[in-house]
Structure 1
Amino acid sequence: MFLWKKGFSIKLIIASIVFITLMTGCSKFTKQTENATGNTPNNNGTDINQSSDISDSASDTNTSSPNSNNASKESPAQDDSSKTILLNIMELAKEGKVVNCQFPAKTTVIDDIEKKWGKPDKSDWVSAAKGTYATYTKHNLAFGFNKGSQIFEVRSFDDKIKKVSLSKVKEVFGKPSYDVKVKGEEIIGYVVNNNFKILLVFPEPTSKNPNPLLSHYSVLYPKGTVNLMADDPGREW
């Protein structure tokens, strides 16, 4: 009986030692795992914070472009373009011509135009202008002609001229020889040579639109408006 109890006690002691050894090893392994990851198995707070930082960084990258608040500025090329158009207007006017038109004032008669383009869309007598005006809408042109069928004025409504401002005209051509405001328009004029003058028509400047763009312009041959038979000295502008 003593021997059985003694043997049982020895086995119990050995089992206890093994159990304690195993428990101690597991405890050490758990602590090593926690120290390596910085988290307990159920704590993912560090992962959430890292994800948040990445999202904030991406958001900052997308919304902080260095050029996002830069306002657009008028290109110097646009200013040069207006000047080029005006210089071209002046050069053509020396020959009685306007832009995109092969028919000059003084040396053309209305029959020449009709042979090339057909009848005008409309034809109106304008007493104040001293002649009849034939309009060719498709070509953005109108021609004033006298009783002898001579073209004395060519008017251009070409789209390319409509980006030229009033201030730019005065800058390039200087102070106008003629400047009137009538019926909501401002008309300025320049002497080209002994034969021709230029008339440029703008909406009348206002506080909301102090520097309007060109509406249309014409090259005038004043001598073509003279009517000696009626003792009419004709137009100057």
Structure 2
Amino acid sequence: MKLAKEGKAPGIKYVVHDSLIDDVRDDWGKADSDDMAGKGFYAVYGKHHAVFGYNKGSQLFDIRSSDAKLQKLTLLQIEQTLGKPSSTTKNGDDTIYVYETGKEFQLKFVIPKSTGKVDHISVFSKTGSRNNMAG
């Protein structure tokens, strides 16, 4: 939660709003895949257990981590530490537990019904998916 309040995910040095996808590419090379989805683009770096959402201005608005340490967590463990989520949504068989970290960021835990454990987390900017290049 502390890292998410700063726009960061554990084990990833890039920061939502402050980093560009170009920074990631310079350090980590070409993404395994890079596709448009929702309100932006998503670059997958499987070797690093990371996915970056970025807008047309190349600014990161979503940092996802599927680090093995996170994948051991259950909802009960999360709630014991952080309390009840601010909101919950469904995406197929996944349940997404959303924690507000302040005005700007959300920390999301994505838990598939099949495992009952975290698949990945997302540090998401509520405003960052907009096109900064638009007038």
The TM-score, its normalising length taken from structure 2, stands at 0.92
Q: Which residue in the other structure is 1:111 paired with?
A: 22
Q: Which residue in the other structure is 1:142 paired with?
A: 51
Instruction: Please state how far the C-alpha of 1:225 moved relative to its aligned partner.
Output: 1.5
Which of the two has greater strand per residue? 2
Letter in 2 for 1:223: T
Task: Assess if the C-alpha contact under 8 Å between 2:93 and 2:113 holds in 1.
Answer: yes
5+ long unaligned stretches in structure 1: 1-89, 231-237
Instruction: Please state how far the C-alpha of 1:227 moved relative to its aligned partner.
Output: 4.3
The number of equivalent residue pairs is 134
CA RMSD of aligned residues (A): 1.7
CA distance in 2, matches of 1:109, 1:227: 13
Letter in 1 for 2:130: V
Q: Which residue in the other structure is 2:85 paired with?
A: 176
* Pick aligned residue for 2:99 from 182, 186, 190: 190
Which of the two has greater helix per residue? 1
The TM-score, its normalising length taken from structure 1, stands at 0.54
- Matched residue SS, 2:27: helix
Q: Which runs of 4+ in 1 moved over 2 A?
A: 226-230
- Matched residue SS, 2:13: coil
Paired residues for 1:78-227 under 5 Å: 90-127=1-38, 130-204=39-113, 212-227=116-131
- Matched residue SS, 1:120: coil
- Matched residue SS, 1:225: coil
- Matched residue SS, 1:226: coil
Q: Which residue in the other structure is 1:26 paired with?
A: none
User: Structure 1 vs Structure 2: percent identity of aligned residues?
Assistant: 38
Rg larger for = 1
Letter in 1 for 2:23: D
Instruction: Please state how far the C-alpha of 1:134 moved relative to its aligned partner.
Output: 0.4
Which of the pair has the greater relative contact order for Cα pairs under 8 Å at 6+ separation? 2
Task: Assess if the C-alpha contact under 8 Å between 2:57 and 2:131 holds in 1.
Answer: no
Letter in 2 for 1:121: D
5+ long unaligned stretches in structure 2: none
